Amino acid sequence: MKKVLIVVLAILSLYVVYKINYPKTEPVSIKVVTNFKLDDYNVFYLDLSEEDITTLNLSKYITNSVDIISVTPYVNPIYKDKIDSMKYAFAPNISYKRNINNFINYYKDTIKNTGYIDDLNYVDVDGIKIMEMEVYARGSDIVNIIYQKKNIKYKTVFKGEYEYLEI
């Protein structure tokens, strides 16, 4: 009888130690205030200039439910005057990976035409930094993207200025 009592007290003491060290966690609700409905699809413009998002890591943040309409890469100020616009429109009928490859080839060809080919050495290693992106997505997908990278600013078609999402 003494052995049973010792075993029960040992189990009870282990349970108490467990409860003290690992308190019950309660889910925290995140209140997101947006100017758009989370379930509605809309065209969003994302300002990615403050984040390090490139063609190499873009797929970490953009899910399959987000359709990319166009991307605008970072252009070196040295040859920015020689290039009209580097905005690249994604083709809707081909895959995401193929669109990215076409964008990389377009970027490389445009830079080659300016004569500043030194930057091309870094494209394959570091990727192309994306400054702005136009997407068609649900509001909840935009919130998920901004939740991963806090410095992304957004605007909708109807809003004129970029703003941060308060999460």
CA–CA dist 7, 70 (Å, integer)? 67
Q: How confident is the model at residue 25 (pLDDT cuts 50, 70, 90)?
A: very low
User: What pairs with residue 113 in β-bridges?
Assistant: none
Report the run of H or E that residue 154 belongs to, with start and end.
strand 153-156
CA–CA dist 15, 109 (Å, integer)? 66
Average pLDDT of span 43-64: 89
Q: What angle do CA 35, 52, 29 make, to 5 degrees?
A: 40
Token pair 């899910």 in the structure block, residue? 63
Summarised one tens digit per residue, pLDDT across range 93-110 is 898 899 999 999 999 998
Residue type, 121: N
Average pLDDT of span 121-145: 89
Q: How confident is the model at residue 54 (pLDDT cuts 50, 70, 90)?
A: very high
Strand order in the sheet with 130-138: 88-89, 67-73, 130-138, 41-47, 153-156, 163-164
Flag whether pLDDT at 136 surpasses 90.
yes
Average pLDDT of span 77-94: 86
